[in-house]
Structure 1
Amino acid sequence: MAICDEISQTVKLPPPSDADLLNLPYRTFERYLKQVEAQLDGGLIIALDEFEKIEDLIEAKKIPVDFMGFLRGLVQMSSKIAFAFAGLHTLEEMTTDYFQPFFASVIPIHVGFQERAATRQILANPGDDFPLDYTLEALDEIYALTHGQPYLVQLLGFQLVRRYNNFVFEQGRPRDSVFTLEDVEVVINEPGFFKQGRYYFTGVWGQAARSVEGQQAILRVLAPHTEGLSLDALAQSTNMNNADLQEALNTLKRHDVVEETQGSWRIIVELFRRWVLQQ
């Protein structure tokens, strides 16, 4: 019903009745999409976030197992209507049998970190009428703290602008319109900063608790070491055998949580490393 309502607002085509969707959800939705397709001049993208939740709903028996087959049919139905599924899990990790027919119908796109130049552009030039600016040192520090992780870059920029607005407009105090390294340090050291970014931090931490064991233990061991640790040091500190340790590290690497540089494993995002230290 919610998806039909959103499509209706976008393409200006009345949605099916709630009664029809409740009585024949699959058939009614499919017929509605065909009506939408006939009316489209261009294309339509239907985006579903937290795609892995479908697996949880199927396991909880709130969605029937055949839903994935139905979804695959929708994906293949029209060249004018595309589906974008976003989530923390890769398709390879969603190995339950009912996901198998789905794999051949989609193209996996890895969404990684922003480059340094893109991070600078988004912060300093989000729009033509943006009146604030950053020193190069401030921009470099934000990149060093976030490694270009989009959510954290946006969070830092938002908090800096909010602090500026509070200072100038609410308190009525003059200040320069250029953010400095000191401004960045003040924002990240505010007591509530890590709580404001909890969606990212707890999401990565929760992901590390799934599938392969030992991921959280590795992160706890790595957190105090900004330069990282060797494989031997990690094995000694976590008491994991080499095979299990390597599997856990590969999983964390696949999710852009850790990286290996010159034989040392380290947490990629500095702000996440600091968050783990507080746990």
Structure 2
Amino acid sequence: MMAAPPDARAALEAAWRRQGRRESLVLFGPRRQGKTHLIRQLAGSPGAFGEDARVATLNLQSVAWAEGARDLCHAIAAALWAAGPDGGAEPAPEAFARRPLAALDRFLAGRARRSPPRRDLLLLDEYELLAELPDARQAGLLRALLDAPHLATGFVGLHHPDELAPPLRDALAGCPALLVGRLDPAAFAWALAAGAGARAPQFAPDARERAFALTGGQPFLGRVLGEVMAIRDADRAGAGAAFAAADVDAAAGSPAFALGARPYFAGHWARADERPPGQRAVLAALAPHEGGLDAGRLRAESGLDPAALDAALASLARHDAVETREGRHRFGVELLRRRVAAGLGG
């Protein structure tokens, strides 16, 4: 199980630990970043947000969806009730049969009247599935979730709100968006060690630096790299000695690493085929150039006009796929660059 990056948890706790009304927010990032595990960790430690907090979780993939808004509104109410009944009656499915949004409004209003007052924190995983509802239903549901004074909702998924279609995009435009993304070198050392396990050899400083340089601090890749290195330890010369940079290179080039890391590569490549258009063209243009390209060269090699290029770069940067340093655009993760350069995509 991929553990949640420590900085992502700290950011969410800081946002929801404050006194008074907590604000709703979006947690986004590629698959295999630890978002789902973060949700489970937070649900298991509601005290992190204050004694008055009740933390509910709901993965929208678990909702039946046969009756659309009816099933969804009941599932949300049931999740909130399960997190803290606080004397209220369990919401019955039939109460949501005819006017599900009105029933959810009544349920939330009842939660707001609890004595002593309580705060509900709702984490909705795979939040993009809300787009399955008709636009009017989407808008009504989002108003209910965002306007309830005692409720803060964490919308967890792959996408920044700017990448979605209205009304979901417009409703979430004012919510802070937190990226569950790459780690700094100190936090990345945690992911690398977590993958290798407690019994694995230590990583020499040059090994940690090399692993960070190849992964850009991406936590899932760090964990997979650590796992592969621990498995390979028994077969290497000097087994049991501290891992060196050469061991990192060997593991990163192995079939075992390619297999374990494939969900990350496939997820990035698939997301780059979504809106805004041109993201795959940018990745393909940058892939042969480890040192990156300036804007003029990138525009020429990608074939994108300036507006399309800017939009594609902004989306890729939001997801830590591309970064800009000293006027040059380059891959944020060297191993992803190599994958695309080899023509493997996802």
Q: Please give the range of the TM-score, normalised by the shorter of the 2 chains.
A: 0.7 to 0.9
The residue type equivalent to 1:16 in the other structure is P
1:115 to 180, 184, 200: 184
Q: 2:91 aligns with which of 16, 21, 24?
A: 16
Q: What amino acid sits opposite 2:288 in the alignment?
A: P
TM-score by length of 2: 0.62
Counterpart in 2 of 1:150?
219
Q: Superposition pairs for residues 156-167 of structure 1, below 5 Å? A: 156-161=225-230, 163=231
Instruction: Report the equivalent of 1:45.
Output: 121
Q: Is the 8 A contact 1:15 1:32 kept in 2?
A: no
Cα deviation, 1:184-206, whole Å, max 9, x if unaligned, reads 33432232433433332222222
The aligned counterpart of 1:70 is 141
Q: Distance in 1 between matches of 2:225 and 2:182?
A: 15
- Asked if the contact 1:11/1:36 (under 8 Å) is kept, the reply is no
TM-score, structure 1 length as denominator? 0.75
* Residue 230 of structure 1, aligned match among 284, 290, 294: 294
Gaps of 5+ in 1: 169-173
Letter of the structure 1 residue corresponding to residue 145 of structure 2:
L
The separation in 1 between residues aligned to 2:155 and 2:96, in whole angstroms, is: 22
1:181 is aligned with what amino acid? A
In the alignment, which residue of structure 1 is the partner of 2:205?
136
Work out the CA distance in 2 between the residues paired with 1:22 and 1:131: 55
Q: Which has the higher contact order (CA 8 A, sep 6+)?
A: 2
- Aligned partner of 1:272 in structure 2 is 336
**In 2: Cα distance, 1:121 partner to 1:175 partner:** 22
1:103, CA displacement in angstroms? 3.2
Give the structure 2 partner of residue 94 of structure 1: 164
SS across alignment from 2:320 = coil
Give RMSD over aligned pairs: 3.6
Number of corresponding residues: 263
Alignment deviations for residues 4-32 of structure 1 (CA, whole Å, 9 cap, x no partner): 56555543677434444555543554555
Structure 2 unaligned runs (5+)?
1-73
Q: How many angstroms does 1:75 deviate by?
A: 2.9
Match in the other structure for 1:184:
248
Shift of 1:34: 5.7
- Partner SS, residue 265 of structure 1: strand
Q: Once the 2 structures are TM-superposed, how far is the Cα of residue 46 of structure 1 from its aligned partner?
A: 1.9
Contact 2:108-2:148 within 8 A present in 1 as well = no
Corresponding residue SS for 1:240? coil
Q: Distance in 1 between matches of 2:115 and 2:210?
A: 49
Q: Distance in 2 between matches of 1:222 and 1:82?
A: 40
1:159 and 1:249, CA in 2 relative to 1: closer, same or farther beyond 3 A? same
Query: Which residue of the other structure, out of 130, 146, 165, is the alignment partner of 1:54?
Result: 130
